[in-house]
Amino acid sequence: MVRFERVSRSFAARKGSAAVFALDDLSLEIPRGEIFGVIGRSGAGKSTLLRLINGLERPTGGRVVVDGIEVNALSESELRPVRRSIGMVFQHFNLLSSRTVFENVALPLEVAGIGDAEIRDRVEPLLDLVGLADKRNRYPAELSGGQKQRVGIARALATRPKILLGDEVTSALDPETTASILALLADINQRLGVTIVLITHEMSVIKEICHRVAVLEAGKLIETGRAFEVLTQPRHATTASFVRGVTGVELPADLARRLSDQPSPGSQAVLRITFTGSHATAPVVSRLTTILGIDINILAGRIDTIGGEPFGALLVSVPGDEATRLAVVSAVERLNLQGEVIGYVA
């Protein structure tokens, strides 16, 4: 559906300095009908990637192909119908304060020269879809942040796009509103089959609704794949730092202060055990206790879902002598789980 083939986007630097690359030799494929997340810190190239999809920016190298059309090879007039097939939702809503909810959603249809009757036939179902039918005659100043974003989503869908681009669509919202907007986007994806591309700096957004994810750093693609696999088995240090906050389990503060890299006589080894899929709800501790015949102390744990698939993490302590420690790790692996010793506590 969307394909980047060795795409670079550079900007001229000060005299005597090398060009600055917002994207550097990036190759990426976004499948049709999926929710695809792009995550990275500020300056990673996320916004540039999004703007290349709808032709608001042109690559300095490589090809951007959308639905079989090489976007960067089109003239401005040739780009117009392509852009109508690509909706855009903004971080700060970009609503016109002098127009009602209905009129804001209708705006792209008016610009396209569509008649009043067809505009009404398109806009009213969209207001129902985003839950704002009762707000059709309200103005943006009368709406909450979440309601404004719902207007923005309805407006982006007005031209019946094949692709919906989201530019940090939840970063200006509180957690509860964020959850409702993400649920709405997931519903839209399922009902309408629209491909959704979200750029974000929040891994929680990726965890909640994305099927696949790409991780950018300094304009380069450092990791990509199914969201579940990237979040549960990150291969790059930058990805791991993003993931830690949404899939990790923290030690209680008093234990964290006493954690040491090396064992001491009588110390306990602290293990992190991670489990996925059908293993996420298995009685892991009781099985290990039965297999090994030792006491296992649970320190912390969580069970969550990533893209609808269960994922769990558990911190436990066991006797810290080498023989017991190796036996526990071996037993964890025999149960098809992942286990690692993260330190020792007296």
Percent of the chain with pLDDT over 70: 97
Under 8 Å between Cβ of 147 and 159: no
What's the pLDDT at 20? 85
Q: What is the pLDDT of residues 31-85, one digit of tens each?
A: 999 999 999 999 999 999 999 999 999 999 999 999 999 999 999 999 988 998 9
- Considering the domain architecture, whether residues 135 and 229 belong to the same structural domain is answered as yes
Model confidence at 107: pLDDT above 70: yes
What's the pLDDT at 65? 96
- Considering the domain architecture, whether residues 173 and 260 belong to the same structural domain is answered as no
- Considering the domain architecture, whether residues 223 and 255 belong to the same structural domain is answered as no
- Identity at 311, one-letter amino acid code: F
Q: What is the mean pLDDT of residues 82-101?
A: 93
- Considering the domain architecture, whether residues 287 and 150 belong to the same structural domain is answered as no
What's the pLDDT at 340? 83
- Considering the domain architecture, whether residues 280 and 212 belong to the same structural domain is answered as no
Domain end: 213, 246, 279, which one?
246
- Considering the domain architecture, whether residues 156 and 287 belong to the same structural domain is answered as no
- Considering the domain architecture, whether residues 290 and 212 belong to the same structural domain is answered as no
Domain end: 200, 216, 246, which one?
246
What's the pLDDT at 242? 85
H or E element at residue 312: strand 309-319
Q: What is the pLDDT of residues 171-181, one digit of tens each?
A: 889 999 999 99
What's the pLDDT at 280? 59
More confident residue, 308 or 229: 229
Under 8 Å between Cβ of 147 and 130: no
Model confidence at 279: pLDDT above 90: no
> For all residues of the chain together, what is the average pLDDT?
90
The full DSSP string for 198-241 is EEES-HHHHHHH-SEEEEEETTEEEEEEEHHHHHHS--SHHHHH
Model confidence at 314: pLDDT above 90: no
CB-CB neighbours of 300 under 10 Å: 16
Residue whose entry in the numeric block shows the structure tokens 């389990």: 249
Beta-ladder partners of 1: none
- Identity at 16, one-letter amino acid code: G
CATH number of the domain residue 268 falls in: 3.30.70.260
- Considering the domain architecture, whether residues 288 and 155 belong to the same structural domain is answered as no
Q: What is the pLDDT of residues 111-121, one digit of tens each?
A: 999 999 999 99
CATH number of the domain residue 51 falls in: 3.40.50.300
Q: Which domain holds residue 333?
A: 249-345
CA 318 to CA 326: how far, in whole Å?
A: 11
Model confidence at 241: pLDDT above 90: no
- Considering the domain architecture, whether residues 198 and 267 belong to the same structural domain is answered as no
Beta-ladder partners of 87: 164
Whole-number Cα distances in Å, 241 to 171, 199, 215, 235, 246 = 19, 17, 12, 11, 10
Q: Which of 242, 219, 184, 86 is nearest to 227 (CA)?
A: 242
- Considering the domain architecture, whether residues 292 and 149 belong to the same structural domain is answered as no
What's the pLDDT at 262? 87
Q: Provide the domain count of the chain.
A: 2
What's the pLDDT at 312? 80
Domain end: 219, 246, 273, which one?
246
- Considering the domain architecture, whether residues 183 and 258 belong to the same structural domain is answered as no
**Sign of CA pseudo-dihedral 316, 320, 321, 322:** positive
What's the pLDDT at 278? 61
Least confidently predicted of 19-23, 125-129, 197-201, 278-282:
278-282
pTM, entire model: 0.85
Residue 318 is given by DSSP the state E
Q: How confident is the model at residue 293 (pLDDT cuts 50, 70, 90)?
A: confident
Q: How confident is the model at residue 281 (pLDDT cuts 50, 70, 90)?
A: low
Percent of the chain with pLDDT over 90: 57
- Considering the domain architecture, whether residues 206 and 57 belong to the same structural domain is answered as yes
